[in-house]
Amino acid sequence: MFWNMDCISGAKKYLADNSVDLIICDPPYGINGAKLDKHYNRNEDTVIDGYIEIPAKEYSDFSIQWIKEAQRILRPGGSIYIVSGYTNLRHILNALANTELTEINHIIWKYNFGVYTSKKFVSSHYHILYYAKPGRKRTFNTFAFFSDSERAQNGGAANYLDREDVWTINREYKPGQIKNKNQLPTALLAKMIMYASNPKDLVCDLFLGSFSTAKTALELDRRACGFELNKAAYDYQIKEIKKVKSGELLKFIKQPEQNALFNKGKPINNQEKFDILKEYSDLYRQGWTQKNSIEQITKKYGRGYWAILNLIKANPSSNNEQQNLFNQKSLDI
Ligand SMILES: C[S@@+](CC[C@H](N)C(=O)[O-])C[C@H]1O[C@@H](n2cnc3c(N)ncnc32)[C@H](O)[C@@H]1O
């Protein structure tokens, strides 16, 4: 359900307490959004008119009111992401501090095409405040995209790197397409949704703009609802969202390697330790690097990179030709 109305009165009227699994909000920034084109020095011909801004002096009160509603509609254990520039960040943080919502992460989103400046540093980040409502277990899909054993191109652990709290995600360049001011990229929304919700969960955006949160949520097989006060944007996007195919994006989303760590957490016996160290020793003799050898062994034995590394470190003989003399009884991890 999508409503063309103010989100504060709209939520009060239409959304029950504890009814939403995930909220993603990108509220107006209180920096005179009607002039954002000059700020970003860009052509506004394809941007929908009527973006509704909040005057700076009302920003604090406005933030308190809508965040109070967000807290009410969020179910216990549900999460909320709020995207904010730095100008009015303090008002959002203050409003959050006045709720029972608890901070999970303060994420920095680094984007391309920052606002050009010549006499100071170029501003190229937003804040994403990731909070949750206490009371039940929070949904967090640690392996949404990468299993424990996958390596990134630079050789680091892909899962760890993807879960760092600085996200570098480019804005989408959509020449000629009708859009909202400040439209959020699908990759950013997909990351938030995949980690913090499950299929069929209800995702709410109180400031729909181009309905980008709602479209991405539906395309990821979630349900969606929200509000947009600007009639021109609402009228255009309510037709567009009917074209969205539920679950469509899931076909293109990177899946974690299946069962990559199928033995993780299971006790390791001496025979398996012996086999792993023997294999490592053989690969070492063939000239494999430590990293490549461990990655190979990780896949075969379904155990994590660090588990294998620790096993090797605890048994340094696996690094030399003495492996054949290896004594099973000396294994110690
Ligand atoms: C920063 S934009 C959201 C952009 C959106 N995330 C996207 O990707 O397209 C904020 C939106 O909130 C709308 N808005 C402003 N005040 C509102 C209110 N009280 N209730 C609902 N929507 C409002 C504005 O018209 C604008 O479209």
Q: Is the CB of 70 under 6 A from ligand 1?
A: no
Q: Whose CA is nearest to atom 26 of ligand 1?
A: 209
**What's the whole-model pTM score?**
0.79
Q: Whose CA is nearest to atom 16 of ligand 1?
A: 52
Q: Is the CB of 304 under 6 A from ligand 1?
A: no
Relative orientation angle of helices 212-219 and 186-196, to the nearest 10 degrees: 60
Q: Which whole-number Å values give the CA distances from 288 to 31, 292, 295, in the listed order?
A: 56, 6, 11
Q: Whose CA is nearest to atom 15 of ligand 1?
A: 52
Of the candidates 75, 54, 76, the one whose C-alpha atom is nearest the C-alpha of residue 65 is 54
Give me the percent of the chain exceeding a pLDDT of 70: 86
At 225 the three-state DSSP class reads: strand
DSSP letter at 99 equals S
Counting from 1 in the atom list of ligand 1, the atom nearest the Cα of 52 is 25
Q: Is the CB of 204 under 6 A from ligand 1?
A: no
Contacting residues for 248 by C-beta, under 8 A, at least 6 apart: 219
Domains along the sequence of the chain with CATH: 2-251 (3.40.50.150), 270-330 (no CATH)
DSSP string for residues in 178-206: -B-TTPPPHHHHHHHHHHH--TT-EEEES
Ligand 1 mutation target, pool 40, 215, 228, 240, most atoms within 8 A of CB: 228
- Give the Cα-Cα-Cα angle 139, 109, 41 (nearest 5 degrees): 140
Q: Is the CB of 209 under 6 A from ligand 1?
A: yes
Q: Is the CB of 227 under 6 A from ligand 1?
A: yes
Q: Which two tokens stand for residue 267?
A: 């006790």
Q: What is the pLDDT along the chain (333 residues), one digit of tens a residue?
A: 999 999 999 999 999 999 999 999 999 988 865 454 444 444 555 566 667 889 999 999 999 999 999 999 999 999 999 999 999 999 999 999 999 999 999 999 999 877 788 899 998 999 999 999 999 999 999 999 998 878 888 888 999 999 999 999 998 766 556 555 578 999 999 999 999 999 999 999 999 999 999 999 999 999 999 999 999 999 999 999 999 999 999 999 888 876 567 788 888 899 999 999 999 999 988 888 888 899 889 888 888 888 899 999 988 776 654 444 444 434 443
Sheet holding 123-132, edge to edge: 2-3, 223-227, 202-205, 20-25, 74-84, 123-132, 102-115, 166-168
DSSP letter at 318 equals G
Q: Is the CB of 147 under 6 A from ligand 1?
A: no
